[in-house]
Amino acid sequence: QAHLDRIAAVDGDVHAFLHVSDHALDVAADVDRRRAGGEQLGPVAGVPLAIKDVLVTTDMPSTSGSKILEGYMSPFDATVVARSRAADLVPLGKTNMDEFAMGSSTEHSAYGPTRNPWDLDRIPGGSGGGSAAAVAAFEAPLALGSDTGGSIRQPAHVTGTVGVKPTYGGVSRYGAIALASSLDQVGPVTRTVLDAGLLHDVVAGHDIHDATSIADPWPSFAEAAREGARGDVLKGLKVGVVKELPDSGFQAGVASSFRDALAKLEAQGAEIVEISAPHFEYAVAAYYLILPAEASSNLAKFDSVRFGLRVDVPGGTVEDVMSATRDAGFGPEVKRRIILGTYALSAGYYDAYYGSAQKVRTLIQRDFDQAFASVDVIATPSAPTTAFKIGEKIDDPLSMYLNDLTTIPANLAGVPGISVPSGLAEEDGLPVGIQFLAPAREDARLYRVGAALE
Ligand code: GLN
């Protein structure tokens, strides 16, 4: 009830939610009843959960921020949603996002932007700005997001929250409306590292419905966070800093907060090591070919027949109906990427664009392999700037894409990443995050380090 009251009080301004559940209190009351009856419940039983609208739910609409899916009701729950329900989390509602998770500001939502609770004139990051804003505004204690190129970590950075992109294959993608299938991962957005670990423990693990899901069991991430909070884990830890990341690319307050965080790590016994990752600077370019290519293929299923919106064209052909529907149903950023992706995949251009981007992807994976031979984690600022003003970058796709400078390499390589608050920027008083990256399957290491810094 407290969270529903908070939503009623602030969400008119923040607009984190696209839909608020009308039966959350019933679910919570049922948990209370069972607890009172002596049933042994798990550690998160009864805790409210906000769910990014990219994740399908049977009891609430799932739009992925798009008009083409307005009012769409899924016949099944995403695996992460089913696991959340099984752990007795209480779904509160569905959160706003850039349409089909394309963006860094939530301004590309077909349902209007979400505002950053720290300053309502500023963006909450994207694409999962709704989940991050809900957590930052105390509308929800826990949220689920998805991260294809930074959509969990960059919103966490600009809202002072914690965001984790798990190892690729660590969390099921079944029921996460696909953006780019080789990059997408679902993960937690929370106020503390321990909270993220508790939620990650609920959703992690093998799922036969996702062919890329890792079969091996995972250690407890909550336990890893507790170990980190007890201290000592930083002693002798080697933290790599990428020498090729341009200093000039970062806002002054972001750069200084990053340096302060490194000094704190060093003071607790960590060793800061300069590493070389010469291909990181090509990550944005490679990503913005691979992502549109995969997205254009994934979005082909929105054909006016199988899902959602259909715009009838009296006397028109099937093609007329399809094109009228897609014209009305998709926003400008989605259309831009479909065109880009279709072009990159077309005969004659495939090798030059898509093929080259895949080669760069391999080189970035090798950069990580080489770096992790000598360091335990890599640290970077989570994003180049603090929250920018709503409207500032909306007409400049390239400057929007450059927000993803430090988050994208992890998606291209499949390695896990966490963004943890590292303070406020001097010049504007807005939150800044530090990102840690670990080798694939070493997500627990991120929880230890993140909790130790926290
Ligand atoms: N900003 C990135 C993009 O626009 C992030 C997307 C994501 O992680 N879903 O593609």
Instruction: Find out whether the beta carbon of 151 lies less than 6 Å from any atom of ligand 1.
Output: yes
Active site residue 235: no
Cα separation, 399 vs 432, in Å, equals: 19
What separation in Å is there between the alpha carbon of 58 and the centre of ligand 1?
Answer: 25
Give the pLDDT of residue 448.
Answer: 98
Cα separation, 445 vs 219, in Å, equals: 10
From 21, 105, 127, 146, active-site residue? 127
Give the pLDDT of residue 247.
Answer: 67
Backbone φ, ψ for residue 119 (5° rounding): -165, 110
Give the pLDDT of residue 307.
Answer: 83
Active site residue 422: no
Give the pLDDT of residue 239.
Answer: 98
Instruction: Find out whether the beta carbon of 150 lies less than 6 Å from any atom of ligand 1.
Output: yes
Contact 104, 403 (CB under 8 A): yes
Instruction: Find out whether the beta carbon of 148 lies less than 6 Å from any atom of ligand 1.
Output: yes
What separation in Å is there between the alpha carbon of 265 and the centre of ligand 1?
Answer: 29
Size (the chain), residues: 454
Query: Which amino acid, one-letter code, is at 235?
Result: K
Please list, in sequence order, all residues whose beta carbon lies within 8 angstroms of the beta carbon of residue 383, skipping any fewer than 6 positions away: 125, 150, 153, 154, 157, 158, 254, 403, 404, 405, 406, 407, 433
Write the secondary structure of 291-326 as one string of H (helix), E (strand) and C (coil).
HHHHHHHHHHHCCCCCCCCCCCCCCCCHHHHHHHHH
- How many CB atoms are located within 10 Å of the residue 166 CB? 28
Q: Tokens 């321990």, residue?
A: 194
Residue of 98, 154, 411 best suited for mutating to test ligand 1, as the one with most atoms within 8 Å of CB = 98
ipTM of the modeled complex? 0.97
What separation in Å is there between the alpha carbon of 315 and the centre of ligand 1?
Answer: 39
Tokens for 194, please give them.
């321990």
The alpha carbon dihedral of 320, 323, 326, 327 has a sign of negative
- How many CB atoms are located within 10 Å of the residue 32 CB? 13
Intervals of the chain under pLDDT 70? 247
Partners of residue 186 on adjacent β-strands: 146
Nearest-CA residue for atom 5 of ligand 1: 149
Active site residue 52: yes
Give the pLDDT of residue 235.
Answer: 96
Strands 271-275 and 162-165, by their bridges, are unpaired
Give the pLDDT of residue 384.
Answer: 96
Cα separation, 159 vs 131, in Å, equals: 10
Atom of ligand 1 nearest to the CA of 102: 4
Residue of 104, 131, 284 best suited for mutating to test ligand 1, as the one with most atoms within 8 Å of CB = 104
Contact 90, 84 (CB under 8 A): no
Instruction: Find out whether the beta carbon of 66 lies less than 6 Å from any atom of ligand 1.
Output: no
Tokens for 67, please give them.
């008009």
- Full DSSP string of 161-225: -EEEEPPTTSB--TTB--S-TTT-EEEEEESSHHHHHHHHHHHBS--TT-TT---S----HHHHH
Instruction: Find out whether the beta carbon of 127 lies less than 6 Å from any atom of ligand 1.
Output: yes
Cα separation, 210 vs 73, in Å, equals: 21
Atom of ligand 1 nearest to the CA of 291: 10
Instruction: Find out whether the beta carbon of 149 lies less than 6 Å from any atom of ligand 1.
Output: yes
Instruction: Find out whether the beta carbon of 177 lies less than 6 Å from any atom of ligand 1.
Output: no
Nearest-CA residue for atom 10 of ligand 1: 102
Partners of residue 433 on adjacent β-strands: 421
| Burial class of residue 59 in the structure, from the number of CB atoms within 10 Å of its CB (0-12 exposed, 13-18 middle, 19+ buried) | middle
Q: For 232-286, write each residue's pLDDT tens digit.
A: 999 999 999 999 987 678 999 999 999 999 999 999 999 999 999 999 999 999 9
Tokens for 287, please give them.
């990503």
Instruction: Find out whether the beta carbon of 90 lies less than 6 Å from any atom of ligand 1.
Output: no
Quote the crossing angle between the two packed helices 79-86 and 193-203, to the nearest 10°. Answer: 110
Instruction: Find out whether the beta carbon of 80 lies less than 6 Å from any atom of ligand 1.
Output: no
Residue of 66, 151, 299 best suited for mutating to test ligand 1, as the one with most atoms within 8 Å of CB = 151
Q: Tokens 């965080």, residue?
A: 261
What separation in Å is there between the alpha carbon of 205 and the centre of ligand 1?
Answer: 24
| Burial class of residue 317 in the structure, from the number of CB atoms within 10 Å of its CB (0-12 exposed, 13-18 middle, 19+ buried) | exposed
Instruction: Find out whether the beta carbon of 406 lies less than 6 Å from any atom of ligand 1.
Output: no
Please list, in sequence order, all residues whose beta carbon lies within 8 angstroms of the beta carbon of residue 429, skipping any fewer than 6 positions away: none
Cα separation, 220 vs 197, in Å, equals: 8
Tokens for 63, please give them.
């739009």
What separation in Å is there between the alpha carbon of 316 and the centre of ligand 1?
Answer: 36
Instruction: Find out whether the beta carbon of 404 lies less than 6 Å from any atom of ligand 1.
Output: yes
Atom of ligand 1 nearest to the CA of 411: 8
H or E stretch at 449:
helix 443-453
pTM above 0.90, yes or no: yes
Of 428, 449, 429, 427, which is closest to residue 439 (Cα–Cα)? 449
Contact 149, 104 (CB under 8 A): no
